[in-house]
Amino acid sequence: MRLRANFILATVVNLWMVHTVASLWNIGISHGRHANSRFLLDNGVSRTPPMGWNSWNHFWCGINESVVMSTADALVSTGLASLGYKYVNLDDCWAESERDENGKLRGKASTFPSGIKALADYVHARGLKLGIYADAGNRTCSNQMPGSLHHEYEDAKTFAQWGVDYIKYDNCYHDGTRNRESYTAMGHALQKIKRPIHFSLCEWGQEDPAKWAGAYGHSWRTTGDINDTFASVTWIADLNNRWGRYAGPGRWNDPDMLEVGSGGMTMDEYRSHFSIWSLMKAPLLIGCDLRSVSNRTLRILGNKEVIEVNQDSLGVQGRKLRSKDGLGVWAGPLSDNRVVVVLWNRSELRALITAVWRDFGLSPNTPAIVRDFWKHKYVSMNERDRLTASVAPHACKMYVLTPLQS
């Protein structure tokens, strides 16, 4: 009983802090109350954005239990698991094309011969969590396995019995029902089964899920699918930016998985991608093949200081403060009165970018300690009024400011 009381008290205090900081930053917070909000607050899942790996970006339908097991091993051996990357998520194509004689989903015998329960046990034994993919329609997006339409409770029970910890719920082959109603059905089913499962709604932002999905799940896609190009990253970042006021502990805007390490962008572009996703408090789901990941990619994905921004307890999504000619200032509040600032150059030429203290509600005379989170060093112990940096094309600078008493 004491633990429950402490959890409720911590939740109330955190919500007060979020609303206070949000008002200072003029970003707003959703005040909606929902019939099943108790489901979110009681299961304690995803008070910070989830971190892990998802199979789709690299493997598409070419997954099997060997790939998943070796990826789980790689999360541990690379040290990524110890940094918070805990979810090992199967995407589409893991199941047989039809349900069994009892109407239940089943793992594809040719690729998951040991079954999903055994796979979950393997993942759990390494201190990790297993995620799975399902769909709100009659078939999944690949059309290779059944959807969960009219089978929501049965499938939720099956996932819980297998030990699943995360569900990505897609939106293909639906019956024309409004997305909100389709996702409500699975949300209520997950509430009934009582297992603490992260529920990720993937309806691609079609019906502005940021406005309602927090009642039924823990994260929701705000855009279409990402691809491994800088143009895709910038497009999605701008779309996701508009929904920041609806995010917070236990409910996160999801601009889709990380492409870091997939090979289509430069290292500067990948650092920008990872920095902005972390600032926006996006779920950090790795999409590359971790079994053969390069050291350069690991240095990006494993940047502990940048990860700490993403996992900050305040849980306020950072946003774009201003942008002109491809030169942008993105920022957000952190716990302990700190501010994260990203100077992002989306142009084709090196340029100077300046952030000024008034952007963050600080007096120009307020001194601040400034730390560079990619160089891992302090660049100033007494900066005032503004911060300027020369930024390479498609690159960024990421700083955390700690204001001092003036």
**What distance in Å separates the CA atoms of residue 365 and residue 244, rounded to the nearest whole number?**
29
Q: For 27, left (φ over 0), alpha (ψ -120 to 50), or beta?
A: alpha
- CB neighbour list of residue 386: distance below 8 Å, 6 or more residues apart: 354, 355, 356, 357, 364
Bridge-based pairing state of the strands 219-221 and 396-403: unpaired
Residue 401 main-chain phi, psi, to 5 deg: -100, 130
- CB neighbour list of residue 223: distance below 8 Å, 6 or more residues apart: 204, 205, 235, 236, 239, 240, 255, 256
Of 226, 399, 380, residue with least CA distance to 306: 399
Q: How many CB atoms lie within 10 A of CB 295?
A: 8
| Alpha carbon separation from 189 to 120, 154, 183, 185, 247 (Å, rounded) | 21, 8, 10, 6, 23
| Alpha carbon separation from 122 to 65, 71, 125, 251 (Å, rounded) | 10, 11, 5, 28
Rounded to 5 degrees, what angle do the CA atoms 94, 253, 301 make? 70
**Cβ-contact 291, 227 below 8 angstroms:** no
- Beta bridge partners of residue 329, listed in sequence order: 322, 343
**Cβ-contact 321, 331 below 8 angstroms:** yes
Continuous H helices in 242-345: 267-279, 295-301, 304-310
| Alpha carbon separation from 321 to 99, 157, 307 (Å, rounded) | 50, 44, 21
Of 399, 401, 332, residue with least CA distance to 24: 332
List 92, 135, 170, 312, catalytic entry: 170
Q: How many CB atoms lie within 10 A of CB 325?
A: 10
Active site residue 268: no
List 225, 238, 268, 385, catalytic entry: 225
* DSSP single-letter state for residue 95: B
Active site residue 225: yes
**What distance in Å separates the CA atoms of residue 268 and residue 280, rounded to the nearest whole number?**
18
Return the active site residues: 170, 225
